[in-house]
Each structure stands twice: as structure tokens, then as C-alpha cells.
Amino acid sequence: MNIPEIIRQMTLEEKAGLCSGADFWHTKAIERLGVPQIMVSDGPHGLRKQDLEGDHLGVNDSIQAVCFPAGCATAASFDRQLVEKMGQALGEECQAENVAVLLGPAVNIKRSPLCGRNFEYYSEDPYVAGQTAASFIKGVQSKNVGVSIKHFYANNQEHRRMSSSSVMDERTKREIYLAAFEQAIQEAKPWTVMCSYNRINGVYAAQDKTALTEFLRDECQFDGFVMSDWGAVDDRAADLAAGMDLEMPSSEGVRDREIVRAVQEGRLPEAAVDLAVERILTIVDRYWQNQNPHANFDRDADHELSREIASQCMVLLKNEDHVLPLSKEKKTAFIGAFAEAPRFQGGGSSHIHCHKVESALEMAKDYPVIYAKGYDVSDHTVQQDLYEEAIRAAKSAETAVIFAGLPDALESEGYDRTHMRLPDCQNALISAVAKANPNTVVVLHNGSPVEMPWIDEVKGVLETYLCGQAVGGATVQVLYGDVNPSGHLAETFPRKLEDNPSYLFYPGEGDQTVYAEGVFVGYRYYATKKMPVLFPFGHGLSYTTFQISDLKTDKAAYADGETVRVTVHVTNTGDRAGKQVVQLYVLPQTKTDAVLRPVLELRGYEKVSLMPGETKTVSFELNRRAFAYYHTALQEWTVLDGDYAIAAGGSSAELETQQVIHIAGRKSLLTDITLNTTVGDILALKGAREILRPLMESYGRTMGDSASDSLGESTASMMEAQMKYMPLRGMISFGDGKITTDSCLAMVEELKKLL
């Protein structure tokens, strides 16, 4: 398409019309100008294409498709190549079904375990979320199908999601809630971005020009179009002015007329409408120029791929006395309704109409397995007959495997959970079975952390998350050792809900939720507070063992902005092949009261496949951002001068090797100096001590006269400590009268030159 010429020929009404959907899933066509429509469809872990009745809560049927593992599971793989492979399959499916844009990935931060949509999100950590999203985007868009990275941004709860305001400071935004989007957009260049329902500091996401234009387009160089979440529009003219281009779904012309009226009344420049139209047409043209009429949606092949991916995502949380893998010759009791009918996806807009689903019970039919239902998914009370049947089965088997988890009704888009517990009947069943059989393993089906009051009673726990329609086969492969588990937690499992850093502030008061925990989200909080957790971020066991050792950097000291090159060795010290996730963390060593920082932050990871006895060297490159924090007064990323430990290990709580480096960064965080600036802050500036010497000597003469000479050096030390937190004006009050306010102001002017 000759887009500038098409825009020149369009009427204002046609331009306004193109800025909203034709229906629930399509953009508008303009036949007289040869502009075709495109279709968008829900994702992100499957194709939920709806041709007839559209909805955004998964109520109406869609085409039969393949449900891949949800975001909670794929992030746990810590495997960029695997996620990209999944994206490629979804891109091929979209091409085969004439879908131009897949609505995903969903990268919102897991602020609280209660968020009803956590199953769709990747991590509590922005680096993991951003890297996983980038891999997914690259995979999908390699098939010339676009994605819509969502929900931009600070959409961290379902409670009042269409009206609530996420209240946070600029540093929290930058370091946590924008960072995942920033990485993915800069690395993978998604075709579109979907803005969220909520407000941020009182401004609806669709009207936030600072985010949609200044951050997305100017800083991140995003060049696609921004669409609304379905029904997220409040003021259409304000949206367009801010940079929100396409409203979805159709407003049946209502808001098209609002756009026309705003332009005619001079409240909205027509150039803003033209720009939105240009962005939309660019993506429409990109899809149709690369549409593949030969693409094939092979559901059975993708089902097999879904199983392969699922097997790499599952996290072995506990394996006492090597209770796993199971013996293929000895009798095992499969207990729990999810063994026969697994829960493998969440509810809402990502709900896939699967062409087939396999259960663990079905896939273990060739092994000596007996089955007891144990509980009713729809009834959370203990049913005595099912309970007793499960106990009998457990007693008759070598090992009892309980398939537990959260029923559909407890985890869905549209509302939040109210607690972290499994249904009472399941907790009671687990304890009873563990008492009946000492070799008890729990297999969990859930999209977010759950409390485990029985954790010390069972020998094994396998977290399958919501692992897609092939979860049954993948679970059996892992349980029986055909696949060595290699997933790691992309979120912390706290011991109880009250331990979560957002507990006191989530979900907020009325239409406002204050992010009072700031940057201390997830493991950043638990590690800094030294709080015991159930399972730490990054945790994941294997049927083999690994050693991570000999971390080295290319030198010991760096200038601000230099790349830090790191190598680390990882060895398979066990007796079977396996994969280890080498995690790299940065730990600031120089403490300052000028800025509060987490004690450690993930800055790199690699998944490594190793044969028994094999050692590999893993390399990382850390750029400036790996050591920086966002300085709100300067409005820039800042590296403080000081020492930083770089550590590697198998989880955030198991750092096995480290090296300390020095970075010559910013010594002072001052942006201005006044008479109210403290002496200690000023002395951090190079050359400041010489300027302040007359003032300090005046103070010292007065204080020295009143101090005991016997104190000697301790007197000087005491005076230095007293001065540290004293404002300059206070020094005048305690001086010997030789320093005046005017002479002190002259010092201030000299000091400002050091900034």
C-alpha cells in the first residue's frame, strides 16, 4: 500500500473509523481505497480464534486448537530457545487461520500471589519476564504474524481492574513495572502493544502520554500501533492525543463520531488521527505483504510439541530420599481427580478449546498404577467414601502420588483469589495419604503459589503449573524419569500469604492501590529482609546434581558504562544427563543511606545441558543497567561508585561462587546544594572538603574547646560523625563566629560547580 497517498485520500470520517474495530476481532476495511482488514485473536499460549460470537472472558466457543503451557509454566523453563520454538508454532497456526496479530505475551509482574491472572504472567522479576517475552515475540513474528505485548502497564490485579489506580513512584515504575516491557520491546520489536484497563497515578493507561509516547516510542523506539484492551477506552480523543491508536472492539461508530467532533472543534489535531492511521495501516500492510497461503495448522504435531515444552517447564520442588523417579515395575497409586481430568489452563480470554487433552492416568496405562479419585473438584469438603478409598489405595502401593491443585473457579481472569490455600479436602487428603504411605509425592496443578501445610509430611513435590493439554504425558515422563526435570521457579513461594511484601496494600482501598513496597517485589523483599520462604525464586531440583564454580570477571575494576564480562563453570556431578539453570545475580556491597536497594537482583541466566561428569563454561556480559538504579531526581539510570559482588548459583538462595568488582560510578547523588544540604552528602563530592575546610575548622574550634582533650582522636571522630548529618546552616550556629551566612552562601556557589 502507498500509505501516505491512501491517508491523503481518506475522509476524516474514514480515518476516525479506522481507529476502532469493525467488530470484536477485526480492523475495518476501506474497499474504495483497497485497504483490507486484519484479524486479531486471543492468546498467548494458544489460538483462541472466534469467528462468530466474540467475547473477552472465554465464555463462547472458539475453534479447536492446541493449548500450550501457560506463562507461569513457560517462564519456569528458563529456556529462551524453547519459548521461541513455542512462538514459532503459534505463529504458523495464526498464518494458517488468517490471524494477523496474536494477543500476547502477557508480561505483567506478579506483585501478589492473589492476582487472578498470574497464571498468564511470567514472573515477579522483570528480567525473566522481559527475556521470556522477547523469545516468545521473536518466535511468533518469525512467521510474519504480529503480537500484542500486554497489558501496558501496572495491571497487577483483577480486582477493580477497569477503575483502579496503581499508585507508585517513578523508580518503582522504571525498575520493576516498565522494565519487562522495555526489554522485550527493544529486543524483539513487537508489532503492537495493548494498553491496560487500569489507571496509573490517576491517569488511565490509554491516556498516559508519558508512557505511550515518551517512553514507548521515544525511549524504546516502538514503531507499531497501540491498541486498547477490550473496553478500556474512557476518552477517545484523549487516547489518540496520548498515543493509543486502535480501540477494540467496535464501538459501532459511537467513538468514531467522538473523534470527528473533537477534530472539528479543535480539541484534537487531525495530524494525531493521521499518525494513528499510518501506524495501523503499516501493520495491516506488513501482514498482507507476508501472508502465507501454504501455512499448516497441524494440531497433532503441535500437541506433541506442547508435551515436549511442558516436560521442560515442570519444577521439582522436593525429592527427599530420591522418592522420584518412580519405578516402572512397582505399584503406584495415582490419587486425585486431576490425575484423570487435569487442570491445565486458566479461565478467561486465554481459555483454549482444545482438540484433545491427555491425562496422567491415561498416559501411565502401561505401568502398574491403581487409581482413586480422592476428592470432588466441585466440592471442597471431605467426602468420606472417596477419602477412605484413597487411603486403601495408598497403603497397597509402593508410592502414592496425589494430583492436587486449584479448581478452575479459584483462578481466572476477571477476579482475584482471596487466599493461597488449596481446597480443605485436598489438604486433608494429602496429610492422610502421607500418614498411610511414607513415600508420598504431590503433583500440583496451579497457576500461582499455594500454601503447603503438609510440606514436611510428604517426600516429593512436583510443580506442573498449568502446563497445557499434553500435561498428562509430560507429567508421567517426569515422574518415571524419562525426562529429567529442569524447571526453576520464576517466582517465590512464601510460607503464607501474610509474608508477601504487598500483603498490607493489596488489593487496595476502593479504586486505589498503593505500591508501598516499591522495588521490593518478590525475592528482592524476602532476600533483603532475610525472611524464610517455602521455596525461593530460582529454585528447582533435578535427578542429577550440579556444581557451579570458578566465577571470574575479565578484570577487577571498571569505569561506569564498561561491559563486565563474566565466565562461570557448571559441572554435572551426578550419574545422569540433565539441565541446570545457571543464574547470575548482582549484589551491591557498598552501603549508603542515600538509596535503598535490594541485596541482590537477577541479571542473567542460561540453561545448560550436561552429560554426567561434563563441565561447560557459561559466559555473560553485563551492561551498565545491570548495576544501575533509577535516580528519580536526575531522571536517569545511575551507577553508584562502589563494590559489587557478582554471584552465580542454582537459585537466589544458593549462590555458589562470586567475585567482587569495583565500578567507578557516581560518588554523590546530589542534584543541588543549599544551606540545608548536609555536610556528609557534600563531602562525597571530590574537592568538597577543601572548600568546606574554613567552616569545619570554625566548628571544630568551638566544639574542641568544650570537649575533653583526653579523648584525642575519638574527639575528632565524634565531631566528624556529628557534622555528617548537620546542614550547612547548623555549622554556622555552632561555629566561632568567623563564618557568616554570606560566606557560607559563597561556599555553596563554589560547591555547586562540583556537581
d(C-alpha 400, C-alpha 378), whole Å: 23
**Measured distance CA(86)–CA(91) in Å, rounded:** 9
**Residue ending a domain, choose from 630, 664, 698:** 664
Q: Can you give the CATH number for the domain in which 352 is found?
A: 3.40.50.1700
Same domain, 484 and 363: yes
Residues in CB range of 635: below 8 A, 6 or more apart? 170
Q: Enumerate residues 6+ apart whose C-beta is below 8 A from 339.
A: 359, 360, 361, 371, 401, 403, 443
The residue written with cell numbers 571498571 in the block is 558
Domain of residue 644 covers: 546-664
* Residue 536 is assigned to a structural domain of this protein: no
Domain contains 620: yes
CATH number for position 72 = 3.20.20.300
The answer to whether residue 688 is domain-embedded is yes
Residues 577 and 640 in one domain: yes
Helix then strand then coil, % of the chain, to nearest 5:
35, 20, 45
Residue ranges of the chain with per-residue pLDDT less than 70: 51-54, 56-59, 703-716
pLDDT at 60: 73
**Are 350 and 263 found together in one domain?**
no
User: 636 and 719 in one domain?
Assistant: no
Q: How far is CA 455 from CA 242, 319, 343, 444, 689, in A?
A: 50, 11, 21, 12, 58
Is 346 part of a structural domain of the chain?
A: yes
Cell digits for 307? Answer: 508435551
Side chain identity at 7, as an amino acid letter?
A: I
| Structural contact between residues 150 and 99, judged by C-beta atoms closer than 8 angstroms | no
C-alpha cell of residue 667: 560518588
For residue 118, the one-letter residue type is N
- Asked if 334 and 242 sit in the same domain, the reply is no
C-alpha cell, 727: 546542614
Q: What is the pLDDT of residue 715?
A: 64
**Contacts for 604 with CB less than 8 Å, ≥ 6 apart:** 127, 566, 583, 584, 620, 622, 626
The set of cell numbers assigned to 735 is 561555629
Please report the pLDDT score of residue 58 as a whole number: 67
Question: Which of 237, 264, 289 marks a domain boundary?
Answer: 289
Please indicate, yes or no, whether residues 591 and 720 belong to a single structural domain of this protein.
no
Buried b (16+ CB within 10 A) or exposed e, 720-746: eeebeeebbebbbeebeeebeeeebee
Q: Are residue 334 and residue 276 in the same domain, yes or no?
A: no
**Helix (H/G/I), strand (E/B), else coil: 226:** strand
Q: Do residue 453 and residue 411 come from a single domain?
A: yes
Task: Output phi, psi for 221, to 5 deg.
Answer: 60, 35
Q: Are residues 347 and 488 in the same domain?
A: yes
Among 664, 668, 530, smallest CA distance to 595 is for: 668
Residue 289 CB contacts under 8 Å (≥ 6 apart), including other chains = none
Question: Is residue 92 situated within a structural domain?
Answer: yes
Indicate whether 538 belongs to any domain: no
Are 244 and 356 contained in the same domain? no
Query: Does residue 644 sit within a domain?
Result: yes
Q: How many domains does one find in the chain?
A: 4
What is the per-residue pLDDT for 700? Answer: 78
Same domain, residue pair 522 and 564 = no
pLDDT digits (tens, 9 = 90+) for 68-94: 999 999 999 999 999 999 999 999 999
> What contacts 24+ positions apart, CB below 8 Å, involve 369-372?
369/331, 369/332, 369/333, 369/334, 370/331, 370/332, 370/333, 370/334, 370/396, 370/397, 371/333, 371/334, 371/335, 371/339, 371/340, 372/333, 372/334, 372/335
**Contacts for 592 with CB less than 8 Å, ≥ 6 apart:** 640, 642
Separation CA 72–CA 75 (nearest Å):
6
Q: Show which of 289, 323, 357 is a domain's final residue.
A: 289
Residue with cell 551566612: 741
Cβ neighbour number for residue 641 with a 10 Å cutoff:
15
Residue 50 lies in a domain: yes
Residue with cell 524504546: 220
Q: Are residues 121 and 207 in the same domain?
A: yes
Active-site residue list: 229
Angle 126-141/80-96 helices, nearest 10 degrees?
A: 40
Separation CA 136–CA 202 (nearest Å)? 32
Q: What are the two backbone dihedrals, phi and then psi, of residue 114, each rounded to the nearest 5 degrees? A: -85, -15
